[in-house]
């Protein structure tokens, strides 16, 4: 009991409450093995004395701890799991504890749970079951070689040679506090936790690990102490495809052109989606979308704009309890033909020289820039770039300049600029 610190109980309570209150797990689907189990005797070091660990982990008045943390109870629990977790089932194994340099986990009353024994217990599950393991203890990275296997993820708070640290701000293991907060979407302080970095609205095991690692101050050497969380997934993308609900998370990819026209329809696609989904396609900022199938659509821009780079394309669908939202921002919209614009070009006249320049960049080859002005006595000195220069009789300055070029879609475009009084210097 002298080494059974209160933050171990706090870690278990945080995890248990998250599973019950945020994910809707049934209490009958959670096995808790902690210190001396339901024994009312003293078993926990509070830092100022000893007490008996509460067996209610989520504050509802119902006992949640069912077993003491002994080898025989671990064996009994895994025997039960071997019967109940089927080929499509998912198991989360969470350990917060002391760990030895060889990877052994310290159990109640100074007994040990070795990596070999841990591996043997996991082998009782169906070979097609999904197993996710979260380890907080010191040297937890040493267990990865023992526990790795098909359809498994392993997240550890530190490497095989490192200690794991308690938070300096609250009484929790730092790494698992971040991991659980990522899965909850909110911290104990009520702060929003944004760990979901892709198109679906769920947090995968890989995303929870990435968030916990990057937000673990000890990963960045807080006060000179380091822990380097470790991650293993077999297959390598397995942890990216599942969350605590057991949802399979698709990884769709939205592909569309960076430049579109007001005169022709451009093609876009959504790959990596499940069959049977119903995709909603939506264009914003004067983009029109024509849905072809759930995975394909065409789009074009409104003819109001000569050039704009604020187009947005969105594709969304729901499947098997998961919402997916994808978008492409910054789509460039073009209107070919002859266009007047007072905002896309600037010009100035000084004496016998006139300079003009586009206010945006037209990338790529074969743009074929050609510059003109309406004063017959003035001559263009430059062609082939988005910058134009003219020389001529300063007493007969031009009143307008224009440039012709091929936009990135190969369409001939002409922009005209009428010189203002302020442009004459």
- At 87, which CATH number? 3.40.50.1460
Q: Do residues 139 and 165 both lie within one domain?
A: yes
Q: Span 325-351, mean pLDDT?
A: 93
pLDDT band at 371 (very low <50, low <70, confident <90, very high): very high
Q: Which of 240, 268, 288 is the last residue of a domain?
A: 240
Q: Do residues 136 and 34 both lie within one domain?
A: yes
Here the tokens at position 320 are 């098997």
Q: Span 44-67, mean pLDDT?
A: 96
Contacts of 301 (CB under 8 A, 6+ apart): 260, 261, 262, 286, 287, 288, 308, 311, 333, 334, 335
Q: Span 349-360, mean pLDDT?
A: 94
CA-based R_g, the chain, Å: 32
Does 73 score more than 80 pLDDT? yes
pLDDT digits 0-9 by tens, 15-25: 999 999 999 99
Q: Do residues 157 and 281 both lie within one domain?
A: no
Q: Do residues 328 and 274 both lie within one domain?
A: yes
- The reported pLDDT for the residue numbered 5 is 95
Give backbone dihedrals phi and psi of 387, rounded to 5 degrees, phi first: -120, 130
Range of the domain at 119: 6-240
Asked if residue 66 lies in contact with residue 32, where contact means CB atoms within 8 angstroms, the answer is: yes
Here the tokens at position 347 are 């010009």
- The reported pLDDT for the residue numbered 325 is 97
Does 179 score more than 90 pLDDT? yes
Q: Span 357-368, mean pLDDT?
A: 89
- The reported pLDDT for the residue numbered 162 is 98
Nearest C-alpha neighbor of 285 from the set 315, 340, 329, 316: 329
pLDDT band at 42 (very low <50, low <70, confident <90, very high): very high
The CATH code of the domain that includes 354 is 2.60.40
pLDDT band at 169 (very low <50, low <70, confident <90, very high): confident
- The reported pLDDT for the residue numbered 341 is 85
Q: Do residues 19 and 164 both lie within one domain?
A: yes
């Amino acid at each position: 009991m002298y080494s059974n610190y209160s933050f171990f109980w706090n870690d278990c309570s945080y995890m248990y409450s998250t599973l019950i209150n945020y994910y809707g797990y049934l209490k009958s689907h959670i096995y808790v093995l902690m210190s001396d189990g339901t024994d009312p005797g003293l078993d926990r070091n509070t830092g100022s004395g000893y007490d008996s660990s509460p067996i209610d982990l989520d504050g509802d008045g119902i006992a949640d701890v069912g077993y003491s943390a002994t080898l025989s109870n671990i064996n009994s629990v895994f025997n039960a799991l071997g019967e109940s977790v089927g080929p499509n089932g998912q198991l989360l194994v969470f350990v917060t504890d002391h760990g030895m340099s060889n990877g052994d986990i310290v159990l109640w009353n100074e007994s040990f749970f070795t990596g070999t024994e841990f591996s043997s217990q996991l082998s009782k599950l169906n070979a097609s079951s999904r197993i996710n393991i979260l380890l907080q203890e010191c040297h937890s990275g040493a267990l990865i070689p023992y526990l790795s296997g098909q359809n498994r993820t392993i997240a550890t708070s530190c490497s095989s040679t490192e200690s794991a640290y308690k938070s300096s701000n609250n009484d929790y293991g730092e790494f698992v506090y971040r991991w659980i907060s990522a899965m909850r979407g909110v911290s104990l302080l009520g702060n929003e936790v944004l760990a979901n970095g892709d198109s679906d609205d769920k947090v995968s095991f890989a995303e929870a690990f990435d968030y916990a690692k990057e937000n673990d101050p000890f990963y960045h050497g807080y006060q000179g102490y380091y822990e380097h969380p470790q991650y293993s997934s077999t297959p390598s993308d397995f942890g990216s495809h599942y969350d605590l609900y057991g949802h399979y998370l698709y990884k769709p990819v939205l592909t569309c052109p960076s430049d579109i026209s007001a005169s022709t329809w451009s093609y876009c696609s959504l790959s990596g989606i499940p069959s049977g989904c119903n995709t909603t396609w939506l264009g914003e900022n004067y983009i029109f979308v024509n849905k072809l199938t759930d995975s394909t659509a065409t789009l074009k821009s409104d003819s109001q704009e000569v050039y704009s780079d604020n187009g947005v394309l969105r594709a969304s669908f729901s499947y098997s309890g998961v919402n997916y939202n994808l978008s492409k921002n910054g789509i460039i919209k073009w209107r070919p033909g002859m266009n007047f614009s007072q905002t896309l070009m600037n010009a100035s006249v000084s004496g016998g020289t006139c300079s003009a320049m586009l206010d945006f960049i037209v990338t790529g080859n074969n743009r074929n820039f050609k510059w003109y002005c309406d004063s017959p006595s003035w001559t263009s000195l430059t062609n082939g770039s988005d910058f134009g220069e003219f020389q001529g009789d300063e007493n007969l300055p031009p009143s307008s300049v224009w440039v012709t070029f091929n936009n990135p879609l190969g369409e001939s475009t002409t922009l005209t600029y009428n010189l203002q009084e302020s442009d004459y210097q």
